[in-house]
Structure 1
């Protein structure tokens, strides 16, 4: 007898893979509710549409801009798809606006994904963590585990695709893109982005610039 799978789990798998609802339910039943195994099963069957399209060329798209209220934070992002037809669709343009707003709302985000983060930065973060007082005297195995956990958390903070979507924190930006891949039938990728913060790099004596940016975003 197949196990009972909740609609919430089916929906989560669909958002993650872009596969059909019944295919997601069946994959979860076959994997006895194991989410990672269900994803793997869908990929093996060629049903995870986002995964299938990931290698397809994206040469079309749009450049979206967003200026936050008060005109002190600005973002430009290039979002790519496969055809100009999809680039002109309202859903694709809404996605690009949402991503631009997400970038503006995440002061720590500097890279598109974890894979884009330079190895030199990762090693520097690892060195800094290794020297912190709260772990310096711990056993080597425990110390290594704590460091790697903190590094993973830090890399996720720097990665745009790993951020919880500001309009629906139950999904990540990667999940949001996967939804739109399923909707449009085309591969979609964030190619690059740039943030502009008014006064960045200018000496502001007596002010904490990071706190200022955070207050601007909340305003």
Structure 2
């Protein structure tokens, strides 16, 4: 009998097994979903529990780079223990290398062929759920490139080469010495890891965030009873301070707090040998934005006793 794509999709969602494995299971069981699940479980491809439903907020950040580009990816697991698994580390490293050959979007990387396999990155991650024994997820990726210059990367809390708990990319466009540009860009990447700026320039800060801050400062100033023209000046002063705190180029440079990142870049142009411009940065911290499930162990034990 013919196996439909909808059947394969449903079985994948039920078991977390790869597409080809699901297709084979359905073919072996004449399209019977329950029997197909059992078939996969007997083969060790699907586990008894649905791992795809568990929160994956641990894992690793991986980076990869060539002469003019760099990428950063995040692959999540359920526990930090898996992040120390060599097989998992190899998967993250390979995904980063694959990302370097694409435009860096999750869609493109997911669909790209995984190294040494006839499967895509997405299928490989799904297959690994069965072999590693935890829910895994390729969550996000980003790529920076330059026409001339360099893109540097920095990994914080490194657990292996180019793998860790945080990854940062910084791109510098320049006609000068690329090695000198990369060296300075790496310093800026370390700065970004420490300060987590919201944007490269003040103009790039989210407009809603700017308006929210202005409204807060204006309300605070009005409580002092000062006239509106004075309040306006007070808000302007507070916003200048706000941008100094959240805009990369305006921040005090962590390596030399006496100068801003913008001034440090101008100073670095002497070594680079030409004008240089920071064109972008990316900062991935592991698990940020993922709502982790809180486990009540006592409640779990009580529930188990009642069964």
TM-score, normalized by length of structure 1? 0.58
Look up the match of 2:170: 77
DSSP-derived class of the 1:59 partner: coil
* Deviation (angstroms), 1:205: 6.9
Asked if residue 196 in structure 1 is aligned to residue 284 in structure 2, the reply is yes
CA deviation vs aligned residue, 1:178-197 (integer Å, no higher than 9, x gap): 11223333111111111111
* Deviation (angstroms), 1:144: 1.7
- Structure 2 unaligned regions, length at least 5: 1-145, 159-163, 295-307
Worse-matched range after superposition: 181-190 or 113-122: 113-122
* Deviation (angstroms), 1:73: 1.9
Aligned counterpart in structure 1 of residue 256 of structure 2, from 168, 184, 188: 168
Asked if residue 62 in structure 1 is aligned to residue 150 in structure 2, the reply is yes
Look up the match of 1:94: 183
DSSP-derived class of the 1:190 partner: strand
Aligned counterpart in structure 1 of residue 198 of structure 2, from 101, 110, 114: 110
Aligned equivalents of 2:287, 2:217: Cα separation in 1: 30
Look up the match of 2:273: 185
Look up the match of 2:138: none
The root-mean-square deviation of aligned C-alpha atoms, in Å, is 2.4
DSSP-derived class of the 2:258 partner: strand
Look up the match of 1:135: 223
- Relative to structure 1, the CA distance from residue 115 to residue 189 in structure 2 (aligned partners, 3 Å threshold; closer, same or farther) is same
The equivalences for 1:25-44 within 5 A come to: none
DSSP-derived class of the 2:240 partner: helix
Aligned equivalents of 1:169, 1:133: Cα separation in 2: 29
Asked if residue 126 in structure 1 is aligned to residue 214 in structure 2, the reply is yes
CA deviation vs aligned residue, 1:163-182 (integer Å, no higher than 9, x gap): 11212111211111111223
Aligned equivalents of 1:115, 1:144: Cα separation in 2: 20
DSSP-derived class of the 1:138 partner: coil
The answer (yes or no) to whether the contact 1:135–1:143 under 8 Å persists in 2 is: no
Aligned equivalents of 2:256, 2:175: Cα separation in 1: 26
- Structure 1 unaligned regions, length at least 5: 1-57, 207-219
Aligned counterpart in structure 1 of residue 236 of structure 2, from 139, 148, 154: 148
* Deviation (angstroms), 1:136: 6.0
Aligned equivalents of 1:147, 1:133: Cα separation in 2: 8
The answer (yes or no) to whether the contact 2:175–2:274 under 8 Å persists in 1 is: yes
CA deviation vs aligned residue, 1:111-130 (integer Å, no higher than 9, x gap): 11223335454333212322
Aligned equivalents of 1:159, 1:151: Cα separation in 2: 11
How many residues align structurally? 144
Aligned equivalents of 1:135, 1:150: Cα separation in 2: 15
- Relative to structure 1, the CA distance from residue 122 to residue 186 in structure 2 (aligned partners, 3 Å threshold; closer, same or farther) is same
TM-score, normalized by length of structure 2? 0.43
Q: Greater RCO between the two (CA within 8 Å, min separation 6)?
A: 1
CA deviation vs aligned residue, 1:34-65 (integer Å, no higher than 9, x gap): xxxxxxxxxxxxxxxxxxxxxxxx83012211
| Structure showing greater Rg | 2
